[in-house]
Chains A and B, each alone.
Chain A
Amino acid sequence: MNEVTMSGSPVETAGARVMTRGSVLVTIRRNVGWGVSALALCSTLAILLAIFWFVLSRGLPALKPTLFTTVTSGIAGGLENAILGTLMLVTFAVVIVSIIGFGTGIWLSSYASPKPRELVRLLTDVLAGVPSVVVGYFGYILLVKMAGWQFSLAGGAIALTIIMLPYVVRGTDLALESVPRELKEGGFALGATYTTVLMTVSWPYALPSVFTMLLLATGIALGETAPLIYTAGWSNYLPTAHLTHSPVPYLTYVIWTFISQPFAESHALAYAAAALLMLMIVVTNVFARSWLESLARKQRGERA
């Protein structure tokens, strides 16, 4: 396939040996589409690298050790509070989303009857399409105002949970669906109950892809801003252990507010926060994908 398409078909290359002026033009015309698409791909990767270069070249020099030990103060200072806040919010959200997301995914693939399953899958897809700012406003109405939690760790974490939930549900569902039937039937043949097979055969088999999806969702949660503005608030102090009534600082807030300040120190802080965030997200993504790849290879090997 690749050999066929890299430079025209074999038929064409055979014909090209007896080349005339006309056939050169024909060859060009036939391959100009491939040239354009290759150019599009290259410029895409170039834009991606340009964005990385932009963030890292400005952010890494600004990443001083003191950033990790001082809190923000007005327009300058460090990032200690924001880093801690982001980690607390995301950790809390990962815990909640694991319970709800794994549960829903297991139910979808193992216990649900067809009609409700279709409905819950549809609702999960719908939830994935809800803009994050709408999730934020929902959290603001329900948690900040009606429940009276004010800007808080619990409010921000629940908003992030809603953002992550569709990915985790879908990942768990798909992973359990793709467990080979023979493996499960082997369990049943040994007299195991449905739930025993689920817990001792299917779940361990599905775990790598489930965790990959959880990691990818974590990467998304790390970079979210809009759902937190309305639920977590912001504070210049270290986040407290209180679940409610205490605003939480986070990295993405630093990026979007400090870049619009007219001071070099605040810009440096914004770029440092962005570089840190990008590093966290790249590590999460690359780790998730390569880990999944190697585990999947191992599983294929074991089955062969």
Chain B
Amino acid sequence: MATVALSGAEKRRSRDAVLDIGLRYGTTAMALVTATIVFLIATFLIVYSWPAIAFNGFGILTHLEWNLGNQYGTGVEHRGGFTGSPGASFGAVVFIAGTIISSAFAMAIATPLAILVAIAMHYQVPRRLKTPVNTLVELMAGVPSVVYGLWGIGVLVPWISSSVGPFLAAHISWLSIIGSGSASGNGLLATSFILSVMVFPIMAATMRDVLSTFPKIVFEGAIGLGATPWQAVTTMVLPAIRTQMFAAAMLALGRAIGETMAVLMVCGSALNQLPQNVFAPINTIAAVIVSQLDSALTDPTGMAERSLSELALILFAITLSVNLIARVIMRGGDRVKRTA
């Protein structure tokens, strides 16, 4: 009996040892997979875009024109050791400008609103309603991009075209960024508005989390000293957590820059022209990568496709830097709090 029990315990021990080694190495392997994905993305984008980087040179950052070149003639054009169709020009200025302008407009609308909503969610919503309200705002962040795009096409764009555009053109047309109103409704204003609606919930939710980390007793101390709650929030709480709030806004900016489907559906897909007013069609890097795929595949030299890859690389670099800056700021904020 005793030997049987002993061998059972031993068996279990050896099984435990196998499980231990298996889990240890298994999970390490999985972590390696996760860690390499970012490097793989960067490496493959660079390798695949290399012909385009050599062919386009700095032109991609200075030229307005996106032109696949003459695909029906004979011959090819050599540049930087690689070949493209004759007359090809791959300039990304329109897309980069569109990305920056629309994201900046979107952030200008969304940031103040998100701060206000975060304050309302944290201080004003009664305890019993907190969970449903939080769930609703987070659900808003979970609505797919393409559904926002659908709403943009179905509601926002017609509204801008029939009401906002004519109204602004009639009343403040002296402002040059208004221009003469909008014919289609697709363009910079629609894009910025839809971007702000999309990035705003996630920003409000993050800001609410930041607000909830502020010690309640300090807030109550300010009330005890005679501040009104609103004064306490605006003159004490917000300044104290401003770095984290800024980081939350930066994370949202990263999302706005990389947003694709909703933008693609309402931006008007401008090519070769910069927007002259808020109703002008624009294009963003993310949107053009999708909308130009079909025509890029028709380029027999393949240079158009490589140039789209270069655009993806540029987008990757921009969002990576925005996110890393946000992270550094967030860290800095933590350090201040720890020493304080």
Provided the pairs A103-B30, A165-B34 are in contact, do residues A51 and B143 lie with their beta carbons within 8 angstroms?
yes
Provided the pairs A40-B113, A44-B200, A137-B312 are in contact, do residues A100 and B144 lie with their beta carbons within 8 angstroms?
no
* B261 within 8 Å of A (CB atoms): yes
In the complex, A286 Cα to B132 Cα: how many Å? Answer: 10
Give, as a whole number of angstroms, the nearest-CB distance from A50 to chain B: 8
Partner of A134, one of B29, B45, B234: B45
* A213 within 8 Å of B (CB atoms): no
Segment touching A, from B62-70, B87-95, B250-258, B273-281: B250-258
In the complex, which residue of chain B has the Cβ closest to the Cβ of A27? B228
The answer on a CB contact under 8 Å between B144 and A259 is: no
* B31 within 8 Å of A (CB atoms): yes
Partner of A225, one of B16, B116, B137, B261: B261
Give, as a whole number of angstroms, the nearest-CB distance from B40 to chain A: 7
The answer on a CB contact under 8 Å between A134 and B258 is: yes
The answer on a CB contact under 8 Å between B124 and A37 is: yes
Partner of A223, one of B23, B45, B146: B146
The answer on a CB contact under 8 Å between B230 and A54 is: no
Q: Which residues of A contact B137 (CB under 8 A)?
A: 44-45, 48
Query: Which residues of chain A from 1 to 25 have a CB within 8 Å of any chain B CB?
Result: 1-2, 4-6, 8-9, 11-12
12 extra interface residue pairs, beta carbon distance < 8 Å, beyond A103-B31, A129-B319, A255-B150: A5-B123, A11-B226, A45-B133, A47-B140, A48-B143, A111-B24, A124-B34, A130-B41, A169-B34, A277-B147, A281-B143, A289-B135
The answer on a CB contact under 8 Å between B45 and A165 is: no
In the complex, A37 Cα to B208 Cα: how many Å? Answer: 13
In the complex, A107 Cα to B34 Cα: how many Å? Answer: 11
Segment touching A, from B78-86, B175-183, B320-328: B320-328
Q: Which residues of B contact A34 (CB under 8 A)?
A: 120, 123-124, 229-230
Which among A41, A259, A271, A282 has the greatest number of chain B C-beta atoms within 10 A? A41
Give, as a whole number of angstroms, the nearest-CB distance from A16 to chain B: 12
**Count class of interface residues, chain A:** 35 or more
Provided the pairs A125-B323, A193-B20, A225-B144 are in contact, do residues A112 and B31 lie with their beta carbons within 8 angstroms?
yes
* A264 within 8 Å of B (CB atoms): no
State the total of A-B contacts with C-beta under 8 angstroms. 273
The answer on a CB contact under 8 Å between B34 and A127 is: yes
Give, as a whole number of angstroms, the nearest-CB distance from B125 to chain A: 7
* A70 within 8 Å of B (CB atoms): no
For the complex of A and B, the 8 pairs showing the least CB-CB separation, nearest first, are A131-B258, A223-B144, A103-B30, A107-B27, A129-B323, A41-B120, A40-B116, A195-B20
* B19 within 8 Å of A (CB atoms): yes
The answer on a CB contact under 8 Å between B30 and A137 is: no
* B131 within 8 Å of A (CB atoms): yes
The answer on a CB contact under 8 Å between A30 and B20 is: no
Residues 263-294 of chain A: 1 if any B CB is under 8 Å from the residue's CB, otherwise 0?
Answer: 00000001100100110011001100100010
The answer on a CB contact under 8 Å between A220 and B117 is: no
Interface of B is mostly: helix
Q: Which residues of B contact A58 (CB under 8 A)?
A: 154
Provided the pairs A34-B230, A37-B124, A195-B20 are in contact, do residues A130 and B150 lie with their beta carbons within 8 angstroms?
no
Partner of B142, one of A40, A259, A281: A281
Give, as a whole number of angstroms, the nearest-CB distance from B326 to chain A: 8
Provided the pairs A40-B117, A138-B40, A226-B260 are in contact, do residues A133 and B234 lie with their beta carbons within 8 angstroms?
no
The answer on a CB contact under 8 Å between B45 and A141 is: yes
* A232 within 8 Å of B (CB atoms): no
The answer on a CB contact under 8 Å between A123 and B16 is: no
11 A-B residue pairings within 8 Å (CB atoms): A47-B197, A104-B31, A130-B319, A131-B257, A131-B258, A133-B315, A138-B40, A196-B19, A226-B260, A252-B146, A260-B153
* A87 within 8 Å of B (CB atoms): no
Partner of A104, one of B20, B33, B293, B319: B33
In the complex, which residue of chain B has the Cβ closest to the Cβ of A128? B323
Q: Which residues of B contact A271 (CB under 8 A)?
A: 150
The answer on a CB contact under 8 Å between A131 and B131 is: no
In the complex, A78 Cα to B27 Cα: how many Å? Answer: 43
The answer on a CB contact under 8 Å between B143 and A223 is: yes
Q: Which residues of A contact B145 (CB under 8 A)?
A: 223, 225-226
Q: Which residues of A contact B105 (CB under 8 A)?
A: none
Q: Which residues of A contact B289 (CB under 8 A)?
A: 133, 137
* B38 within 8 Å of A (CB atoms): yes
Residues 71-115 of chain B: 1 if any A CB is under 8 Å from the residue's CB, otherwise 0?
Answer: 000000000000000000000000000000000000000000100
The answer on a CB contact under 8 Å between A44 and B204 is: yes
In the complex, A125 Cα to B230 Cα: how many Å? Answer: 34
The answer on a CB contact under 8 Å between B135 and A286 is: yes
Q: Which residues of B contact A274 (CB under 8 A)?
A: 146-147, 150
* A304 within 8 Å of B (CB atoms): no
